[in-house]
Amino acid sequence: SFDTIDKTDPQVKAFVSYADRDLLLAQARQVDEQRAAGKELPRFAGVPIAIKDNIAVKGQPLTCGSRILENYVAPYTSTAAQRALDGGLLIVGKTNMDEFGFGSSTENSAFQPTRNPHALDRIPGGSSGGSAAAVATGMVPWALGTDTGGSVRQPAAMCGVVGFRPTYGRISRYGLVAFASSLDVIGPLAGTVEDAACLTEMIMGRDPRDSTSLPDRADLHSAPKKMRLGIPDEYMSEACQPEIQEAVQRAAQYARDLGWTVDRVSLPLTEYALYIYYVVASVEAASNLARYDGVKYGYRAAGAPNWDEMIDRSRTYGFGAEAKRRIMLGTFAASAGYQDKFYLNATKVRRKLSDEFAAAFRDFDVLLSPISPTTAWKIGEKIEDPMTMYLQDIYSVPAALAGIPALVIPSGTDNAGLPIGLQLSGPRGGDANVIAAGRALE
Ligand code: GLN
């Protein structure tokens, strides 16, 4: 793992910080010795894991890809990371991300762009681009990312690995730095669906520190069965790169060969998903980012003549362009006089969109679709044009808004040799079905 990191990370730049190597090596040796001595250890003891830099691990940096938290060190450990540690995993470092999760390419990191391991001049997807690249290069077998509107699934697709967004609440958000609290989900990135399921099982479940965490511990190893698979028409438009549509059709044919039923389905509200997402997510983000004022934690501008000026200067320096854009958009959409028109309207349509998914899942066990309209684009290609960047999220935000589980599995490459990922989604709480479907189709 360290050899691969030393060889690969100077080019790919997946990590923003590394844990103490001597300590990790000592822990790994200890695992080996204890196993050799016949001691019973947790099944995955000694497996290395990388963790996105918006998930707290005590004593390690927690930058969220932002200058405002550049020198911030986490004072406590998130539930997800703690459960990983309890399972014997070795946290080797923190991975790069778009600032606070704002982006689809990891170019909005204040520190460095991460490169796609399959083509170094291309983006790895985002915002968990560091985690996806770390797994795709073999620097680590497992990583944690976070998915507010696609940030685990889309980089998984672009880097050719598995990424899973569990049902909202399946994994505790305690110790995850909030972007949009009603959408934020922690999710695994791994080489196979089985691995993603094992990692999810290790860290999921009720947590008294997160009131939205789900009480049950769903078994993600239910036996595979013949499923009813739906393909939503709205995800198969001209906007989608032809090779990706072909990959969906190939997977559908494979499902038919397995004896599954495959049918088209229509989800007309898909059209509104991007609008709802960028209103809701920005309103919540603007509210969550209000805590970075130069007072409580993070960067504080020195030498300001008064209080207001201190806050102003701290934020001006600390936040990048995309964070500022979201704060302005969210503050506007939630402001008096505009709230009904934008935020409240968006939340109403969000509910309808959830209902539309629920209705589809009366006829289908899982839905199969693209996760991104294109494969990885060139670094710099879309960064000057936020609207074009937002449009890339068209297939990933609907599942996030509905809080349903969605899995991305790799499915070959396009004509340029870039990885294609496919998305399988299921009803809220139906994580096991989605995993089973992924296992059958991967
Ligand atoms: N690309 C989306 C955004 O910029 C989703 C990001 C995420 O899931 N964190 O908001």
Q: Which atom of ligand 1 is nearest to the CA of 400?
A: 8
Ligand 1 pocket, residue 361 CB under 6 Å = no
Confidence at 105, pLDDT banded by 50, 70, 90: very high
Q: Which atom of ligand 1 is nearest to the CA of 147?
A: 8
Mean pLDDT score of the chain: 97
Ligand 1 pocket, residue 103 CB under 6 Å = yes
User: Is the pLDDT confidence value at 109 over 90?
Assistant: yes
Ligand 1 pocket, residue 322 CB under 6 Å = no
% of the chain exceeding 90 in pLDDT: 95
* Three-class SS state of 19: coil
Which residues of 19-157 form beta strands (DSSP E)? 48-52, 90-95, 142-147
Catalytic, 127? Answer yes
What sign results for the dihedral spanned by CA atoms 219, 220, 226, 231?
Answer: positive
Give the pLDDT of residue 422: 98
* Cross-strand bridge partners of residue 188: 144
Ligand 1 pocket, residue 180 CB under 6 Å = no
**H runs (alpha helix) in 172-214:** 193-203
Backbone angles phi, psi at 407, to 5 degrees: -115, 140
What mean pLDDT do residues 50-68 have? 98
Q: How many helices (H) and strands (E) does the chain have?
A: 14, 11
| Catalytic hit among 78, 105, 127, 314 | 127
CA 352 from chain centre, in angstroms, equals 24
Ligand 1 pocket, residue 102 CB under 6 Å = yes
Longest dimension (CA), the chain: 72
Ligand 1 pocket, residue 281 CB under 6 Å = yes
For residue 68, give both structure tokens: 């405002």
Angle between helices 270-288 and 321-333 (to 10 degrees): 100
353 phi-psi bin (left φ>0, alpha ψ -120 to 50, beta other):
alpha
The per-residue b/e assignment along 82-97, b for 16 or more CB within 10 angstroms, e otherwise, is bbbeebbbbbbbbbbb
Radius of gyration of the chain (CA): 21
Neighbours of 191 (CB within 10 A): 16
Report the candidate in 62, 59, 21, 118 with the shortest Cα–Cα distance to residue 298. Answer: 62
Confidence at 364, pLDDT banded by 50, 70, 90: very high
Neighbours of 184 (CB within 10 A): 24
Give the pLDDT of residue 1: 81
Cα 236 to averaged position of ligand 1 atoms, centre (Å): 21
Catalytic, 335? Answer no
Confidence at 218, pLDDT banded by 50, 70, 90: confident
Q: Which atom of ligand 1 is nearest to the CA of 277?
A: 10
Pairwise CA distance, residues 21 & 28, whole Å: 10
Q: Which atom of ligand 1 is nearest to the CA of 392?
A: 1
Q: Which CATH architecture has domain 1-264+367-379+405-442?
A: Alpha-Beta Complex (3.90)
User: Is the pLDDT confidence value at 217 over 80?
Assistant: no
Quote the pTM value: 0.97
What sign results for the dihedral spanned by CA atoms 267, 272, 274, 276?
Answer: negative
Give the pLDDT of residue 225: 87
User: Is the pLDDT confidence value at 223 over 80?
Assistant: no
Residue with CA at minimum distance from ligand 1 atom 10 = 102
Pairwise CA distance, residues 371 & 425, whole Å: 10
Report the candidate in 132, 95, 123 with the shortest Cα–Cα distance to residue 16. Answer: 95
* Three-class SS state of 48: strand
Strands 48-52 and 162-165: unpaired
The gap between the terminal CA atoms of the chain, to the nearest Å, is 25
Strands 185-190 and 162-165: antiparallel
Give the pLDDT of residue 382: 96
Q: In testing the pocket of ligand 1, which one of 97, 109, 127 has its CB within 8 Å of the most ligand atoms?
A: 127
Per-residue pLDDT of 224-256, as tens digits, reads 789 999 999 999 999 999 999 999 999 999 999
